[in-house]
A and B are shown apart, each in its own frame.
Chain A
Amino acid sequence: MPSRISLVNKEIWKTITRSVGWVSIIYFLGLFFSIPLEILMTASEEQRKFIDIDNLFQYHFQIQIILNMSIPVLMAVFLFRFLQLKPYSDLMHSLPVKREAIFHQYAIAGLILLILPVLLIAIIVLILYQPFFLNDFYNIGEIFKWLGITLMYNILIYLSGVFVGMVSGLSAVQGALTYIILLLPVGLIVLLAFNLPFYLYGYPSQYYLESKFEKFSPLVSLTQINYRASGAAEIAVYLILIFSIYWLSLWVYKKRKLEAVSQALVFPVTKPIFKFGTTFCTMLLGGMYFGEMRGGMGWLIAGYVFGVLIGYVIAEMVLQKSWRVTIHLKGLMIYTAAMAVLFILFQFDFTQYEKKLPAAKEIERVHISESYYLYSDIDRDEPLYLREYENIDMVRRLHKEIVENKNIDHRQSNVQDTAFIVYELKNGEKLVRNYKIDKTNYRPFYKLIYESDEYKTATNEIYKVEANETTKITITPSGPVNKRATITDPDDLKEAVEILTEEVDSAAYEDSQNHVEPYAYIEVFYGDSKKAYMQWNPSYTKFEKWLKENSLLDEARVTSNDISYALVMKAEDLEINHARGFSYEEIFEDMKQSNLAMKMTNKEQIETSLKNAKGFIDGEYLIAFYFEEQRAIDIKNFNGENVPDFIKKHFE
């Protein structure tokens, strides 16, 4: 009787509400507590002052997240409980109802029960909107945005749960596997990003890890919806996913063999996929953990072996539903052999990843810096790019040199620097590489690039300043002093800008690499509220001279006049616990107590020390400056050629 088994069978609907109605109710109560109740409770004038909310997600966001992550999966698991329990499954499938009809009825009923609570909350907030003056915080469109986005995520997560339910034959596996699949895209990206650098020399993990990959996982993306707006493309992809997962689930359900109910995975083909997929992921996880410890190749391989064993055994346990399992060694051996082949292939760079270097004429422009963050975290509109042929060619040659030195550099433990290179090709493609190197080995390349006009123009804001338009220059000394030099005279300004430009023009690469702390930070104000920022490096002696001539020097940097005395000691004579933490005051007190310390009061000596000291607590000698007026201490160090002769002499 087709009419009786049509889509809306009242009794089946009743069964569904009887079994999963509670999920819907909990969801409603949770949301009600999070949003409308919060609105009611913070309605008073006094409390409103402290409300910092501009969309609905921000009301008890954590609670909303937990609900949005768990409720859809709970719904899918309990709704399709009849699939995972053999007698229940047999009962439902002996009825004169087609699987298609069962699926539509259950899946859609679940959808309705998920949508209803959210819809009700949206209606309640709409009702509250006028009387509670919510327009002070957000416009009415936010309510619909909240409704739409919440439902989109809910439905996607719910349908993923439904789909997994069709594939698995145990409710617990259905729940767990749903989360795994939802996290898998992000998880794999992270695992691969951490592992690939071991095989692909120059693989820029950070570049891929930071490239907004969160949206590949609805679960991760969901945790950011309170501040990150979903793009149109993202929404389109999610909607397409929603429809395709629905139909895919139905298709799989029709093929489901009921005799496999109560097995972890119903379809035999999925078992090896699950087994080797799990093994692969735990292998990468092991590699990531041990690889990050930097214990060398031996530990890395140990991490892999460990990960493979754990993953393989866990997968077997899940599939055999017992912890006392027989391990199928054959599968493990095939897997190991496959991985060994892959490993060897990577050693031969079979993807040509390492050797790949675009020809200079293919390159539109190139970025080179010491870190990915100098590429991504920038105040400017776009990162530094070089377009001139000489520079492009120089970066290419540097790149080639680094790759050729792969095996030399690789094993050095004192490799501290990073070379981050991005080529933008004329055909629109990008080639990104990241190398750990010792920059001193490549000084000629860096020197030529960094001293080129193009590089200097691109990296120094001072070149943008029109000397005539300058309105003010402030020079703020680095160090615990409160003074500041200000230039406002138009002629002085013009001169200063010219000198500063000249200084930058003639600055040598080495001066930018010696880590000496700048004397001061300079801000050049020009045009309509535009500002150029730069550092005053001790190597800018012309500028220093000019300041002196204009009697600005005393205000512009820390001088020996600010310092009543300084103490110098060999670092090895001091006990500094870097792990526990230390304060300048403690170290200074220790130096004062010690009879090994050299006390310096000679102004000239203090001046020389100021010029040469670097701003970290490591190195051969430590120097503590005491600022009388501020009663402040600054501690710096000397190292190698920077150590002034009189200090060397004293400690001999």
Chain B
Amino acid sequence: MIKISNARKSFEELEAVEKVSIHVNKGSIYGLLGSNGAGKTTLLKLLSGIYLQDEGSVTIDGQPVFENTSIKDKIFFIQDNPFFLPQYTVKQMAQFYKSIYSGWNEDRFEELAIIFEMDIHKKIHKFSKGIQRQAAFILALSARPEILILDEPMDGLDPVMRKKVKSLLIDEVADREMTILISSHNLREVEDLCDYIGIMHKGRIILEKDLDDLKSDTHKVQVAFKGPVPAIFDSMKLLHKEKRGSIMICIVKGDAEEISAYVEQFKPVIFDLLPLTLEEIFIYEMGDVGYAIQNILG
């Protein structure tokens, strides 16, 4: 549905996005991870039709996004610092969006205002940062977009509110197959939300994964044998291996049951198959680059 292929965008001398290709399916939640300056925001603005790529293509349902009103009508973009028309109340903003987005649902707006306990007649710029962000969510969800693009959306929200927002987003995705693109510099913030993860580093996508696959696919294996270690590792997909005393610790890819069955053949003294945290998976998956971007994982 969303397809970016070989997109490049540079700002004067600075290369912000270099040859990026991603593909997002309808109804999925795609997390775009990267440290500051990795090019996440630029990519999201390309996708929202704010910027025009220098090269490559950015399409939704096969159509280019830039200056395409019928496609942009399906997209709602919330900036990293939500911005509202000067001196506007939530209600006035709602009226504004209502006149612009064809999918606007007034009932949904009133419902959400109640859920978030929002005073819709107060000027938005008088609200605190967190409330402003909630207002942005209310307005975005009321516009009923097919694609919601969120730039660092969890900043400034307290844990309770985060949970509320996350469940609302998941509901929307479940109810009407909304697609979400969400950027973050922190994996933990979005790991319970996303089903796809793309990691950006210096303008490039260095990794793109299905989270469920990744989690069920990668395991930590601890084994110990009496006597010499048999050559069991040759036929396993190993990401990492180390020896602590007589115990071998390795990170293995593959189906859990198949691995267990395979290892049991060699009659180990100790055998544990443990799940990995996402953080560990990424570090092992990405090898050297993993360390460079470790800060977004923790």
Residues of A within 8 A of B79 (CB): 87, 90-91
Are A93 and B50 closer than 8 Å at their CB atoms?
yes
Please name all residues of chain A whose beta carbon is closer than 8 Å to the beta carbon of B127 when the two chains form the complex: none
Between A18, A88, A96, the greatest number of chain B beta carbons within 10 A of the residue's beta carbon is seen for: A96
- In the assembled complex, the Cα of A489 lies from the Cα of B81 at a distance in Å of 99
Interchain CA distance A2-B102 in the complex, whole Å: 10
Chain A, range 13-30, C-beta contacts under 8 Å to B: 14-15, 18-19
Query: Are the CB atoms of A5 and B69 closer together than 8 Å?
Result: yes
CA distance A2 to B100 in the complex (A): 10
Residue B51 contacts which of A5, A95, A259, A268 (CB distance < 8 angstroms)? A259
Is A258's CB within 8 Å of the partner chain B? yes
B88 to chain A minimum Cβ distance, whole angstroms, is: 8
| B69 contacts A98, C-beta separation under 8 Å | yes
Docked-complex contact A4 and B99, CB < 8 angstroms: yes
Within 8 A of B (CB), among A250-287: 257-260, 268
Contact at A258–B86, with CB atoms within 8 Å? Answer: no
B14 to A: closest C-beta gap in Å: 10
Give which listed residue, B73, B76, B83, contacts A1 with CB less than 8 A: B73
Q: Is B216 an interface residue when CB atoms closer than 8 A count as contact?
A: no
Chain A interface, >50% SS class: helix
Q: Are B86 and A9 in contact (CB under 8 A)?
A: no
- Please tell me if the beta carbons of A11 and B100 are within 8 angstroms of each other in the complex: yes
Which one of A10, A15, A258 contacts B85 once the chains associate, using CB atoms below 8 Å?
Answer: A15
Complex CA gap A608/B88 in Å reads 92
Residue B75, interface by CB 8 Å: yes
Most B C-beta atoms less than 10 A away, residue of A12, A14, A90, A95: A95
Among A1, A90, A268, contact of B45 (Cβ-Cβ < 8 Å) = A90
Given the interface contacts A99-B67, A268-B12, does A91 sit within 8 Å of B49 by beta carbon? no
Give the complex CA separation of A259 and B39 in angstroms.
13
CB distance from B30 to the nearest CB of A (A): 18
Chain B residues with CB under 8 A of A2: 69
Complex Cα spacing A487 to B45, Å:
95
Contacting residues, chain B, for A192 (C-beta < 8 A) = none
B70 at the A/B interface (Cβ < 8 Å)? Answer: yes
Residues of A within 8 A of B102 (CB): 1, 4
* A268 CB contacts on chain B under 8 angstroms: 12
Number of A positions contacting B (CB below 8 A): 28
The tally of residues in B whose CB lies under 8 Å from a CB in A reads: 32
CB pair B69 A96 closer than 8 Å: yes
Give a binary string over A73-98; 1 marks a CB under 8 Å from any B CB, 0 the rest.
00000000000000110110111111
Report A305 CB to chain B, min CB distance, Å: 31
B72 contacts which of A9, A15, A96 (Cβ < 8 Å)?
A96
Report the bound CA distance from A88 to B86 in whole Å. Answer: 9
Assembly CA distance A97 to B68 (angstroms): 8
CB distance from A100 to the nearest CB of B (A): 9
Nearest CB of chain A from residue B100's CB, rounded to whole Å:
5
Whole-angstrom distance from the CB of A13 to the nearest CB of chain B?
10
Find residues 99-113 in chain A having any chain B CB closer than 8 Å to their own CB. Answer: 99
Contacts of B72 in A (CB 8 A): 94-97
- Does any Cβ of A come within 8 Å of B77's Cβ? yes
Nearest B-chain residue to A100, judged by Cβ? B67
| Cβ-defined contact, B50 with A87, below 8 A | no
Chain A 48-62: CB-based contact to B (< 8 A → 1; otherwise 0): 000000000000000
- Decide if B218 is an interface residue (CB 8 Å cutoff): no
How near does chain B come to A93, taking the closest CB pair, in angstroms?
Answer: 5
Hey, what's the 0/1 contact readout for B62-99 against A, CB within 8 Å counting as 1?
00000101111101110101011111000000011011
A94 and B77 form a contact (CB under 8 A): yes
**Chain B: minimal CB distance from A617 (Å):** 67
Chain B residue nearest to A3 in the complex (CB): B102
Contact A93 B99 (CB under 8 A): no
Closest A residue to B102 by CB, please name it: A1
**Complex-state Cα separation, A258 to B48, whole angstroms:** 13
Report the minimum CB–CB distance from A324 to chain B (whole Å): 21
Interface string of B202-224 (1 = CB under 8 A from A): 00000000000000000000000
CA distance A3 to B48 in the complex (A): 21
Evaluate contact between A19 and B11: CB separation under 8 angstroms: no
B101 at the interface (CB under 8 A from A): yes
Pick the residue among B45, B52, B73, B86 that contacts A96 (CB under 8 A). B73
Q: Considering the chains assembled together, what is the distance between the CA atoms of A257 and B53 in angstroms?
A: 10
Our pick among B42, B45, B100 for the contact of A9 (Cβ within 8 Å) is: B100
Contact of B96 among A11, A87, A94 (CB under 8 A): A11
Cβ < 8 Å to A, chain B residues 1-52: 11-12, 42, 45, 48-52
A94 touches B51 (CB 8 A): no
Complex-state Cα separation, A10 to B99, whole angstroms = 8
Q: How far is the CA of A88 from the CA of B67 in the complex (A)?
A: 17
Q: Which residue of A lies closest to B70 (CB)?
A: A96
With both chains docked as a complex, state the minimum distance between the C-beta of A419 and any C-beta of chain B, in angstroms: 55
Instruction: Please give, as numbers and ranges, the residues of chain B lying within 8 Å of A87 by CB-CB distance.
Output: 79, 81, 83
**B contact residues around A10 at 8 Å (CB):** 99
Residues of chain A at the chain B interface (Cβ within 8 Å): 1-2, 4-5, 9-12, 14-15, 18-19, 87-88, 90-91, 93-99, 257-260, 268
Given contacts A4-B102, A10-B99, A94-B77, 6 further A-B contacts (CB under 8 A): A5-B100, A11-B96, A18-B85, A90-B79, A94-B75, A95-B100
Closest A-B pairs by Cβ, 5 of them: A87-B83, A96-B72, A11-B99, A96-B73, A1-B102
User: Can you pick out 5 interface pairs between chain A and chain B where the beta carbons lie within 8 Å of each other?
Assistant: A18-B87, A19-B86, A90-B50, A90-B79, A98-B69
User: Which residues of B are in contact with A by a Cβ distance under 8 Å?
Assistant: 11-12, 42, 45, 48-52, 67, 69-73, 75-77, 79, 81, 83-87, 95-96, 98-102
